[in-house]
Structure 1
Amino acid sequence: MKSKYIYLILSPLIIIIAVFAVSALPEKEPEAPLEGKSDLAVKVEYAKLETLHNTIEVTGKLKAKDRYEIYAEVEGRLLSSAKKFREGNYYKKGQVILQIDKQERYMTLLADKSNFMTDLTAILPDLKEDFSESYPTWNQYLKEFDIHQPLKELPTPKTEKEKYFIAGNGIYSSYYTIKSSEEKLSKYTIYAPFNGVISKSNVEAGTAVRAGEELGEMVSLSSYELEVTAPLKDIEHFKKGSKVNLYSSELETEWSGTVIRIGSTLDANSQSVKVYIQTSGKDLKEGMFLTAKVNSTSFEDAIQIPRKLIFDENQVFIVENNKLKIQKIEVLESFRSEAIVKGVPANSAVLMTNIKNPYEGMKVQVMK
């Protein structure tokens, strides 16, 4: 009970002391307004009039210009080669890519050549007696005959009677049968048609292949073709033989290309035309995406500014004496986020800051 009375007496006393302490503190003087604090700081760019070009950009997928699909024209067992037939392996032109076992076919060919040699030997006596003028030629042909070498062309008959005699003894028939077998035997070995790499492999050594079976694919690394789709309104800037610049968003390298073909049909849905560009160079790979850049019309005494700074379709702000001023312009070309315009006085300070609710005469402070 006694403590309750003490609390009631001390509480008012504490409040009175606190009031005197606060009133004794020095009063804070109000801050003086900074000179020019109301002026908005803005960025400008000084107009440098020059000849500009609108750049048209189209993107496409890179493909090897030379492509060789490898098919088996004969059947047999695939032999192992010095360089395994695998994707990414490089072959020089003329180098053996694949070999199919041809031993049985080769032995049959040797037997046919041996029989042909026998047939030639059998007609020599008649040739010597009835066609004495041609006998030395045929005799020399037989002496040079080698069953391990491709057949040489037969001697030309000097008379119709000699031709009928040769044909009647089956010489021509045997000759062309052997030539056909020699041609077929060459199909058992597949050579690289150009310098390139294997882009697809479907077989392995030891497997049996059938005639007509796809074995793989080879592509050249020396030349590529880029297929792009150009809008109909820009197709006039793509001309056969014209040069274009190519770049990749993944690499910092640029390449040069040449327009080699322009499609003759229009895609009704996209209103675009296909354009084919040939290129070559280091770091190019089939399947990568490239962007082609083509310069269109030239614009003199123009500048390029962000489109967002243009208002009322043909006006921008410039800064004169730290005040905004409306400048009428002519928009020559618009693309993506930029625009090429004309009508800005040379060296004038073009406003580059996007201001909320700007107006002519508004005070601003140019940032240095």
Structure 2
Amino acid sequence: MNKALLSFSILLLLTITASCSGVSADKSSEQSSEAAAAEIGSPQITFFTVETEQIADRVSLNGRLRAENRVELFPEVPGKVVEGTKPFREGVSFQEREMLVQLDDSEARLQIQSSRSKFKTLVSALMPDIKLDYPETLPRYEKWFNSLNAENNLVAIPEFGEGVRRYLESKGVYELYYTIKSAEDRLEKFTIRAPFSGVLSAAKAEPGQVVGPQFHLGTFVDSSLMILNASIDPAQVEWIRPGMTMAVSNQGQTESYKAEIVRVNPSVDSSSQQVLIYLEVSGEKLREGMYLEGEIESETKRELARIPKSALLRTGGVLAKRDGNLVDVTVEIHDLERSHLWVSGLQNGDEIVMDVSEPVSGRIINYSHL
């Protein structure tokens, strides 16, 4: 009986020892698995869920404003600049046909007055012959003679008939007449007038300064009509056409203006390999040289996704969740924003890594969600 009791005690002891060893082994295995899982899932990856949209193609445009009506002022005759009715200074406005610059024309004016006086003397000397040979023409001839004045521009020679015309030509009347008319035209060039209503954007002449035909007096612009000169890639110009409208704004995004494409250059600029387009911009507070930028949309659309810039790899792809791994998926960039990109190559609902500074392609990820 003692032997049987001893055998039973030994058997019980062995059973308890085996059970304890099994529990300890299970706990160690579980702890190892948890540690491995914790190592694999740390640090926690933040994913961005892709949502695709039908987006029109966009082209970013930027450039500087330039007045459509712009005149560089150069005198056609030499002379001394005299004080005008308005100061010749930047920012001064002038109406159409108003005097911009006046050059001293006193000497030229006196010469013309002398020539007009000689012309009237010649016409008077021929009156007796006209009275004798062409009596029917005399009343009209006298009326024309009385209209001549050394202070005013010559009145055009009337049509007296072929005979009288030949007679006047033989006496040098027509030759002197055209010489004086040429001098009168030249006299007008001493006064430079505004070709349109506008403002001086540059003024380099001072009263008393002697200037000549090669001297740049200044620049006169029409500030009511501004053109934005912009350039785009030749591949994007196919759907750009005159009449398309867009909004443009200044660099600080504080002012917005309406712009319309009015011209598209058919040639590619040899230096930049870009195509120039010209937009008419309307609005207040527009100034020459102002930098404006904006975007224009096409009529056709494509499926694009808006993703954070931080999700883009240096290789030009993103890390997307694929079967428990992070896979490098190539995307094509179509547009840029300050902190986001518009790309193609992703499907709606795809999950991509929001910040690629830590994850590595091929890494096993932790699927637990908090």
User: What is the aligned counterpart of 2:200 among 198, 201, 205?
Assistant: 198
2:187 counterpart of 1:147: no
Hey, what does 1:339 align to over in structure 2?
A: 342
Determine if contact 1:328/1:343 at 8 Å carries over to the other structure: no
Q: Tell me how large the CA RMSD over aligned residues is.
A: 3.4
Aligned length: 321
- 1:49-98 Cα deviation digits (max 9, x unpaired): 65322321132222222111111222222111232212222222222111
Q: TM-score, normalised by structure 2?
A: 0.74
- Alpha-carbon shift at residue 220 of structure 1 (Å): 1.6
Corresponding residue for residue 260 of structure 1: 262
Distance 2:78 2:209 in 1: 11
Change (3 A) 1:214 1:252: same
Change (3 A) 1:192 1:317: farther
Match of 2:106 among 88, 91, 103: 103
Task: Please state if 1:179 is matched with 2:181.
Answer: yes
Question: Structure 1 pair 164/244, CA: closer, same or farther in 2 (3 Å)?
Answer: same
Over 3 Å counting, the alpha-carbon distance change for 1:231 and 1:344 in structure 2 is same
Amino acid at match of 1:89: V
- Offset, 1:264: 3.3
Q: Percent identity, aligned pairs only? A: 24
Relative to total residues, which structure has the larger helix share, 1 or 2?
A: 2
- 1:205 to partner: Cα distance: 0.5
For the residues of structure 2 that align with 1:238 and 1:81, how far apart are their CA atoms? 47
Which of 72, 76, 91 is equivalent to 2:75? 72
Quote how far apart the aligned CAs of 1:225 are.
Answer: 2.2
Change (3 A) 1:316 1:43: closer
Equivalent residue of 1:182, what SS?
helix
1:364 aligned to which of 346, 351, 369: 369
Give, in whole Å, the separation in 2 of the partners of 1:177 and 1:132: 28
Q: Which amino acid in the other structure matches residue 137 of structure 1?
A: R
Q: Which amino acid aligns with 1:258?
A: E
CA distance in 2, matches of 1:189, 1:217: 16
The offset of 1:142, in angstroms, is 1.4
Deviation at 1:242, TM superposition (A): 2.6
- Read off the aligned partner of 2:287 and give its amino acid letter: K
Q: 1:270 to 1:139 in 2, by over 3 A?
A: closer
What does residue 64 of structure 2 align with?
61
- Cα distance, 1:189 vs. partner? 1.2
Distance 1:316 1:152, change over 3 A: farther
- Provide the rounded CA distance (Å) in 1 between the counterparts of 2:330 and 2:301: 11
Alignment partner of 2:229 out of 211, 222, 227: 227
Cα distance change, pair 271–202 in 1 and its aligned pair in 2 (3 A): closer
- CA 1:297–1:308 in structure 2 vs 1: closer, same or farther (change >3 Å)? farther
Q: Distance in 1 between matches of 2:212 and 2:304?
A: 68
Q: Which consecutive residues of structure 2, in runs of 5 or more, have no partner in the other structure? A: 1-41
* Structure 2 counterpart of 1:134, one-letter code: T
Q: Distance in 1 between matches of 2:77 and 2:208?
A: 15
Would the aligned equivalents of 1:266 and 1:272 in 2 still touch at CA under 8 Å? yes
Q: Which amino acid aligns with 1:139?
A: E
* Alpha-carbon distance between aligned partners in 2 of 1:162 and 1:211, rounded to the nearest angstrom: 41
Q: Deviation digits for residues 206-247 of structure 1, max 9, x if unmatched?
A: 122234422222122012222222112212132233323322
Could you list the runs of 5+ residues in structure 1 that have no partner in the other structure?
1-37, 319-323
Give the superposition deviation at 1:166: 0.9
- Structure-1 residue corresponding to 2:355: 354
State the AA in 2 paired with 1:335. D
**Structure 1's 154 and 270: CA in aligned 2 closer, same or farther, altered over 3 A?**
closer
Q: Structure 2 CA distance, aligned partners of 1:269 and 1:84? A: 41
The normalised TM-score by structure 1 is 0.74
CA shift digits 1:318-368 (9 cap, x unpaired): 9xxxxx9999999675323412448755xx696684374476761223xxx
Partner residue in 2 for 1:24: none
Q: Where do 1:1-368 residues align within 5 Å? A: 47=51, 50-159=53-162, 161-267=163-269, 270-296=272-298, 298-299=300-301, 303-306=305-308, 308-309=310-311, 316=320, 334-336=334-336, 337-341=340-344, 344-345=347-348, 353-354=354-355, 356-357=358-359, 362-365=367-370
Once residues 93 and 364 of structure 1 are traced to their aligned partners in structure 2, the CA distance between those partners, rounded to angstroms, is 74
